[in-house]
């Protein structure tokens, strides 16, 4: 029998090395870095993405397109700094998705994973166009919600300032006149004077300080995980707020999942990205739990329905899409449906809330005017007698 070769003797007794399993491009872990790099605003990211898609569609290479964008804008702008860093990383051999992932303050996880999907499918321009649509849709929803709150907040702030000025400046002058003239003042006037004395005394100052401290504490508490969950739960249950905030969150979630699934990201990774980018902590927790319960990687309607966070209509529409094998279309219909509902609720909100605030302010100011004029008439009658 032939003697074993030196190579076979060296490898004898050693465990056979297993061939490394090829990692899926969508399961590749993204490491975020780029400490100290300036961040672009979302509006700038939207413009950058659209221009990059135009340049690539015109025939430029990715490096050339990024170099062109790096030469735009002011010398110390965030876009130039980010584009130069992206160009440098790509020249050094990094993929565009990995380079983007080094700027988490500028590009959300959704962006990096969408770019990764574009690299895998070879449809980078289409992916960039879909990202533009996603950012435009998110910006439109955010603008509508802010627009709905802007006028009521202005009315409320104006009314509060007007009442404070009235009680600090105007009413004390009337109070001195009434005290000099003497006589019995009506009950409404006495109540108004007592409130004014309290506001202008040290007790009112202490109350103002306490309210300011409570406000600061509430602002900090809302930023904690428990506080954020409490507030987000309230947003999903309050009748007037729910119609805007909740519908906006459902619509954004549906569009996000649709965008990811359409570009080849699997369901589990799409749920993870949606969880990371969701602005509502309660919905993010529900997505986290649902992702753990999804065993086959395809069905999500059941786990989302058991969370109790999402409307029955939404989960039923998801189930229909899963049975038909067209989940992306169902998500698109869900996004459109809740976006329309949000628009309708915003319209109702903008019509009703200013009226309610004006009614309350009119009641407060009307009480002040009534108290002052009733005192004037009472003093006039006493002097006439």
**Structure token digits, residue 184:** 């019995």
CATH architecture of the domain with range 30-136:
Up-down Bundle (1.20)
pTM of the complete model: 0.63
CA nearest to 304, candidates 291, 295, 322: 291
- Report d(CA 357, CA 153) in Å as an integer: 9
Q: Is the pLDDT of residue 10 over 60?
A: no
Burial of 274 (0-12, 13-18, 19+ CB in 10 A): buried
- Report d(CA 91, CA 81) in Å as an integer: 15
Average confidence (pLDDT) over 128-135: 83
Ordered by start, the domain boundaries in the chain are 30-136, 149-385
Dihedral-angle region of residue 13 (phi above 0 means left; psi in -120 to 50 means alpha; beta otherwise): left
Contact 203, 385 (CB under 8 A): no
**Structure token digits, residue 108:** 């959300």
Residue with tokens 């401290």: 213
* Chain segment 328-352, per-residue pLDDT in tens: 889 889 988 988 888 888 788 777 8
Residue with tokens 């950012």: 135
Contact 141, 251 (CB under 8 A): yes
Phi, psi of 101 (to 5 degrees): -65, -15
CA nearest to 254, candidates 339, 325, 320: 339
DSSP 186: P
Q: What is the pLDDT of residue 216?
A: 92
Query: Hey, which of 72-86, 220-234, 235-249, 338-352 has the most confident mean pLDDT?
Result: 220-234
Contact 228, 222 (CB under 8 A): yes
Residue with tokens 């990096």: 112
* Chain segment 23-81, per-residue pLDDT in tens: 333 344 333 344 456 778 888 888 888 888 888 888 888 888 888 888 876 666 787 88
| Residue 8 pLDDT grade (very low, low, confident, very high; cuts 50, 70, 90) | very low
At 57, which helix (H) or strand (E)?
helix 42-57
- Report d(CA 297, CA 267) in Å as an integer: 6
Counts for the chain of helices (H) and strands (E), in that order: 17, 0
Q: What is the pLDDT of residue 135?
A: 81
Long-range contacts of 22-26 (CB under 8 A, 24+ apart): 25/116, 25/119, 25/120, 26/113, 26/116, 26/117, 26/120, 26/264, 26/265, 26/266, 26/269
Q: Is the pLDDT of residue 144 over 80?
A: no
- Rounded to 5 degrees, what angle do the CA atoms 79, 84, 85 make? 100
CA nearest to 235, candidates 345, 347, 354, 359: 345
């Amino acid at each position: 029998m032939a003697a074993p070769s030196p190579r076979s003797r060296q490898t004898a007794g050693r465990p056979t090395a297993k061939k490394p399993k090829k990692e899926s491009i969508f399961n590749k872990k993204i490491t975020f870095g780029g400490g100290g790099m300036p961040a672009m605003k979302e509006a700038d990211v939207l413009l950058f993405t659209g221009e990059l898609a135009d340049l690539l569609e015109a025939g430029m290479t990715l490096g050339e397109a990024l170099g062109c964008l790096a030469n735009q804008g002011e010398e110390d702008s965030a876009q130039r700094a980010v584009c130069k860093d992206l160009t440098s990383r790509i020249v050094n051999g990094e993929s565009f998705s990995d380079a983007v992932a080094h700027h988490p303050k500028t590009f959300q996880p959704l962006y990096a994973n969408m770019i990764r999907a574009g690299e895998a499918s070879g449809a980078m321009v289409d992916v960039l166009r879909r990202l533009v649509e996603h950012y435009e849709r998110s910006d439109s929803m955010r603008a509508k919600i802010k627009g709905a709150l802007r006028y009521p907040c202005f009315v409320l702030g104006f009314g509060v300032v007007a009442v404070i000025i009235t009680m600090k400046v105007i009413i004390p002058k009337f109070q001195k006149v009434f005290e000099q003239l003497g006589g019995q003042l009506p009950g409404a006037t006495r109540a108004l004077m007592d409130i004014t004395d309290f506001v202008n005394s040290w007790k009112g100052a202490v109350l103002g300080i306490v309210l300011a401290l409570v406000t600061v504490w509430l602002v900090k508490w809302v930023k904690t995980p428990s506080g954020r969950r409490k507030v987000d739960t309230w947003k999903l249950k309050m009748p007037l707020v729910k119609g805007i905030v909740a519908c906006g969150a459902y619509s954004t979630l549906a569009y996000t999942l649709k965008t990811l699934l359409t570009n080849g990201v699997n369901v589990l990774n799409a749920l993870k990205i949606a969880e990371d980018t969701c602005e509502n902590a309660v919905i993010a927790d529900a997505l986290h739990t649902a992702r753990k319960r999804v065993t086959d990687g395809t069905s999500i309607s059941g786990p989302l329905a058991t969370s109790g966070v999402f409307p029955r209509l939404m989960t039923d529409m998801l189930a229909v899409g899963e049975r038909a094998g067209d989940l992306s279309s169902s998500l698109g219909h869900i996004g459109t449906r809740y976006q329309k509902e949000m628009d309708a609720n915003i319209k109702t909100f903008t019509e009703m809330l200013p009226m309610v605030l004006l009614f309350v302010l009119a009641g407060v100011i009307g009480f002040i005017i009534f108290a002052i004029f009733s005192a004037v008439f009472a003093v006039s009658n006493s002097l006439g007698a």
